[in-house]
């Protein structure tokens, strides 16, 4: 029996020695996501502070 009898052309070949690129997110995307989350929370905190100060002055 040869390996060609068990060959499936629809199954992608896997490299056992290297980690696939699909298992990790790109570094630039992670940095951008972190920056957007931090910036979004800073803006939300600033808006909350504006409303808190505005309600206190009434």
- For 36-55, the DSSP string reads HHHHHHHHHHHHHHHHHHHH
The candidate with the shortest Cα–Cα distance to 23, out of 14, 34, 32, is: 14
CA angle 24, 36, 49 (to 5 degrees): 145
- What pTM was estimated for this model as a whole? 0.54
The string of pLDDT tens digits covering residues 1-30 is 566 777 777 877 666 665 556 678 899 999
Q: Mean per-residue pLDDT for 29-45? A: 96
């Amino acid at each position: 029996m040869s390996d060609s009898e068990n060959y499936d052309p629809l199954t992608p070949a896997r490299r056992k020695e290297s980690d696939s690129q699909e298992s990790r997110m790109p570094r630039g995307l992670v940095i951008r996501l972190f920056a957007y989350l931090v910036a979004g929370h800073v803006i939300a905190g600033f808006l909350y502070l504006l409303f808190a100060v505005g309600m206190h002055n009434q």
